[in-house]
Amino acid sequence: MLAAAIVVIVELAVQIAGIQSGQARDEPAVSLASQSMACRASVRRSAIAAAEGNHFAACAECGIAALRPASSEACGQEERSCGEKSTHPQRNHRQNRLFPKAMDDHRTGALFALMAMLPLLSACEDVPVAPHDAQPEAIKRGRLAAGQLGCGACHKIPGIWPEGATGPDLTNLAERGVIAGSLPNRPAELTAYLLDPPATVPGTAMPKVPMTRQQAEDIAAFLHQPDAH
Amino acid sequence: MPTETQLKAVLGGWPPAVLNPAGPYSEPVTLLAWALLIGGTVVLAIVLAALAVALWGAPSLRRRLGGDRAIWIGGIAFPVVVLTALLVWGLWLTGDLAAKAPRPGEMRVRITGEMWWWRVAYLDESGRTVIRDANELHVPVGSTVLLELDSADVIHSFWVPRLAGKMNMIPGRRNLLRIQADQPGTFGGQCAEYCGGPHALMGFAVVAHTPESFDRWRASRLAARPASVTSRGQELFMASGCAACHTIAGTQAAGLAGPDLTHVGSRRTLGAGILPNNRGTLAGWIADSQTIKPGNRMPNYKQLDARELNALADYLAGLK
Ligand SMILES: [Cu+2]
């Protein structure tokens, strides 16, 4: 009983100390699970390659190729984590109009995919995946900058208040194929978009929010992180 | 923590730190708060110790605890002495916090609580309004400022914890509160009396300047506004009905239902202390303030397209 009381008192003191130094906002931890990052990197790589016009892109992590047509409509479709390996052939079946039948069998699919992947490995390597190399420091700065600039006034961004609805929900932005309906979802393009949206995507509804290049890069790194679900 | 500090710098110190005084009118309050807290903890510890003795102590100790003497000392003498001392000390400490009348030459500002923002009027010696503003108060470091607090609707409470204690804003009454900042900076405030709807999002910012920089600020506010060239944004402002609720000096906009926007571009915050102020948040606020601050008295403007929204935001951001 005495122990319980002491616990309460200590807790109270800690809380008060917290209030004093102004730690009222809790900062939700950004999940940095490297596993899922690597996986998403490859998924996104394939999306980017598709947006670039490559006919095939490989999910190197799983060793299973994600064969995708290069139409932008396909790359805008929902992305899946390649952690669920078994969904790959199925997705290929759904999305690949070239070889629908061959993909029905998982094994055939995998084999076919590996074959298709071989000549394309180099193309896959060319695609930069910088956000995933981003320093945790940059991600932290990015989250702070996004809050400071009030991006939440128009977007729902995990860990940032408020949760505005004028612009799209930016949860899991990394898994999106294109940004603002037209740009490949890569760090350089995202940074350029953030710095001056109307100049990058004419007619976009996102206003130019004054920020430095460093802030834009940090925010891009932050937004490209997989969100803790 | 630098991140926290930066966040506060941008949001005008909101939400405010409560036990970190920055002026002579909040120091006594903070001191008293700590004294009460620590004293209360000590008393709680004594009571718990007595309880432990009563439950598990040696029989001789328990007998002494249950005797008349323990009751006289612990139950009557101790509280009477401690509480009386506290009362005297507290009154002595906070006695001159209550402001009674303006001192000669003292700066006076009337702040009116509105649901859910603050109307600010800087007064001259005779009590006439010389500068109108909203949601932000500019003061010089090292001088006292007398705040005349009232309310236009329900009871609010003006609270800038780093500069002073709380003071209620009561419709039909004028409560006086004196503040002084001892260091330059931005100090967040918060309505501290539930006033309905988005009460929790009714913030405030006090900006303390060095005396020179304050004089410059004041001169710029008193200077006549150069006649502005009509812009697309200004046209939209008049055409969209914003002028019915907002005033922008030097234009036909003379509405009084919402905050004065004459200098909105130079405000630290938007939405009464809750958002940083830039073109993006301006556009976001105009398009959909109801998601950001649910229930506030400005309607959403979803009918504006991207170009119009940006033109409006550019216009307002330019009102320095
Ligand atoms: Cu209130």
**Which CATH number does the domain housing residue A176 bear?**
1.10.760.10
The CA–CA distances, whole Å, from A22 to A25, A194, B8, B210, B305 equal 8, 30, 9, 25, 39
Measured between its terminal Cα atoms, the distance across chain A in Å is: 38
**3-class SS of residue A71:** coil
| pLDDT above 50: residue A92 | no
> Residue B199 phi/psi, 5° resolution?
-50, -40
Residue B207 near residue B263 (C-beta atoms within 8 A): no
- Residues in chain A with CB shorter than 8 Å from the CB of B37 are 16
Ligand 1 centroid to residue B197 C-alpha, Å: 9
> Residue B144 phi/psi, 5° resolution?
-80, 150
DSSP state for residue B141 in the 8-state scheme:
T
Asked whether residue A168 is assigned to any structural domain, the reply reads yes
Contact state of B17 with A22 under an 8 Å Cβ cutoff: yes
Asked if the C-beta of A210 comes within 8 angstroms of chain B's C-beta atoms, the answer is yes
**Domain identity same for A90 and A6:** yes
- What is the C-alpha separation between A34 and A12, in angstroms, rounded? 37
| pLDDT above 70: residue A128 | no
Ligand 1 centroid to residue B155 C-alpha, Å: 7
Last residue of a domain, one of A89, A121, A153: A121
- Residues in chain A with CB shorter than 8 Å from the CB of B305 are 205
ipTM given for this complex: 0.84
- CATH code matching the domain that covers B232-317, chosen among 2.30.30.100, 3.30.450.20, 2.60.40.420, 3.40.630.30: 2.60.40.420
Q: A residues 5-44 near B, CB within 8 Å?
A: 5, 9, 12-13, 16, 19-25
B72: closest CA of chain A, how far (Å): 25
- Residues in chain A with CB shorter than 8 Å from the CB of B293 are 162
How much is the pTM?
0.78
**Domain identity same for A163 and A208:** yes
Return the number of CB contacts < 8 Å for A and B: 109
pLDDT at residue number A11: 62
**Domain identity same for A18 and A92:** yes
pLDDT at residue number B176: 94
Question: Pairing relation of β-strands B185-190 and B156-158?
Answer: unpaired
**3-class SS of residue B204:** strand
Q: Which two tokens stand for residue B169?
A: 């804003």
Residues near ion ligand 1 (CB < 5 Å) are: B 156, 191, 195, 199, 202
pLDDT at residue number B233: 94
- Residues in chain B with CB shorter than 8 Å from the CB of A205 are 305-306, 309
**Domain identity same for A160 and A215:** yes
pLDDT by residue (tens digit) across B79-114? 999 999 999 999 998 887 877 888 888 999 999 999
- What is the C-alpha separation between B130 and B124, in angstroms, rounded? 6
**Facing residue for A153 by CB, picked from B1, B19, B292:** B292
| pLDDT above 70: residue A100 | no
Q: Is A159 exposed, middle or buried (0-12, 13-18, 19+ CB in 10 A)?
A: middle
Range of the domain at A83: 2-121
Ligand 1 centroid to residue B156 C-alpha, Å: 5
Residue at token pair 């303030």: B289
- What is the C-alpha separation between B272 and B160, in angstroms, rounded? 14
Q: What is the domain partition of chain B in residue ranges?
A: 27-97, 107-211, 232-317
Q: B residues 27-46 near A, CB within 8 Å?
A: 37, 41, 44-45
B178 closest CA partner among B268, B96, B78:
B96
Measured between its terminal Cα atoms, the distance across chain B in Å is: 31
Question: Could you check whether B107-211 and B232-317 share the same CATH topology?
Answer: yes
Interface test with B, best of A143, A209, A212, A215 (most B CBs within 10 A): A209
CA-atom Rg of chain A in angstroms: 21
Q: Hey, which residues does B206 pair with through a beta bridge?
A: B137, B187
Q: Is A70 exposed, middle or buried (0-12, 13-18, 19+ CB in 10 A)?
A: middle
pLDDT at residue number A108: 47
Q: Which two tokens stand for residue B9?
A: 């710098």
**Domain identity same for A23 and A74:** yes
Q: Which two tokens stand for residue A46?
A: 């394939």
- What is the C-alpha separation between B296 and B202, in angstroms, rounded? 10
Confidence band for A61, pLDDT divided at 50, 70 and 90: very low
Confidence band for A18, pLDDT divided at 50, 70 and 90: very low
Asked if the C-beta of A4 comes within 8 angstroms of chain B's C-beta atoms, the answer is no
Number of structural domains in chain A: 2
pLDDT tens across the length of chain B (320 residues): 334 555 555 566 677 888 889 999 999 999 999 999 999 999 999 999 999 999 999 999 898 888 888 889 988 999 999 999 999 999 998 887 877 888 888 999 999 999 999 999 999 989 999 999 999 999 999 999 999 999 999 999 999 999 999 999 999 999 999 999 999 999 999 999 999 999 999 999 999 999 999 999 999 999 877 766 789 999 999 999 999 999 999 899 999 999 999 999 999 999 999 999 999 999 999 999 999 999 999 999 999 999 999 999 999 999 98
Asked whether residue A130 is assigned to any structural domain, the reply reads no
Contact state of B280 with A151 under an 8 Å Cβ cutoff: yes
A22: closest CA of chain B, how far (Å): 5
3-state SS record for B257-292: CCCCCCCHHHCCEECCCCEECCHHHHHHHHHHHHHH
| pLDDT above 50: residue A99 | no
A61 closest CA partner among A91, A37, A79:
A37
pLDDT at residue number B27: 93
**Domain identity same for A12 and A90:** yes
**Facing residue for B278 by CB, picked from A16, A206, A209:** A209
Q: Does domain B107-211 have CATH number 2.60.40.420?
A: yes
Asked whether residue A127 is assigned to any structural domain, the reply reads no
Annotate B148-198 with DSSP letters as a single string: EEEESSS-EEE--TTT---EEE-BT--EEEEE--SS-EEEEEE--S--STT
- The H or E element spanning position A92 is helix A87-95
- What is the C-alpha separation between A171 and B74, in angstroms, rounded? 59
pLDDT at residue number A2: 55
B221: closest CA of chain A, how far (Å): 25
Which range, of A34-38, A177-181, B67-71, B163-167, averages the lowest pLDDT? A34-38
**Domain identity same for A152 and A103:** no
pLDDT by residue (tens digit) across B15-28? 788 888 999 999 99
Residue B154 near residue B172 (C-beta atoms within 8 A): no
**Domain identity same for A111 and A160:** no
**Domain identity same for A146 and A208:** yes
**Domain identity same for A90 and A24:** yes
Asked whether residue A174 is assigned to any structural domain, the reply reads yes
